[in-house]
Amino acid sequence: MKTSLKKRIDHAVGKAIHDWDMILEDEKILVGLSGGKDSQVLLNLLFSLKTRAPVNFEILPVHIDAGFEGSFAKELSQFVDNTYGNLKVEYTDYGMIAHSKENTENPCFLCSRLRRKRLFEIAKEQGCQKIALGHNKDDIIETLFINIFYAGRIGTMKPRQSFFDGALDIIRPLSYVEKKDITLFGKMFELPEFVSNCPSANRTKRGEIRDMLEKLYKHNKHIKGNIFSAMSNVATDYLLDTKNDRYSKST
Contact 130, 23 (CB under 8 A): yes
- Go through the domains of the chain in sequence order and give each one's CATH number: 2-250 (3.40.50.620)
In 3D space, the residue among 193, 125, 127, 140 whose CA is nearest the CA of residue 16 turns out to be 140
Residue environment code for 177-207, b if the CB has 16+ CB neighbours within 10 A, otherwise e: bbbebbebbbeeeebebbebbbeeeeeeeee
Q: What is the pLDDT of residue 17?
A: 98
Q: Say yes or no to pLDDT of 130 above 90.
A: yes
Q: Are strands 27-32 and 88-91 parallel, antiparallel or unpaired?
A: unpaired
Range 112-132 average pLDDT: 96
Q: What is the pLDDT of residue 53?
A: 93
| Spatial separation of the C-alpha atoms in residues 43 and 118, rounded to whole Å | 19
In 3D space, the residue among 126, 127, 123 whose CA is nearest the CA of residue 115 turns out to be 123
- How do residues 179-213 score in pLDDT, each as one tens digit? 999 999 999 999 998 887 787 776 778 889 999 99
> How would residue 248 be classed by pLDDT, with cut points 50, 70 and 90?
low
Angle at 22 between CA 13 and CA 77, to 5 degrees: 75
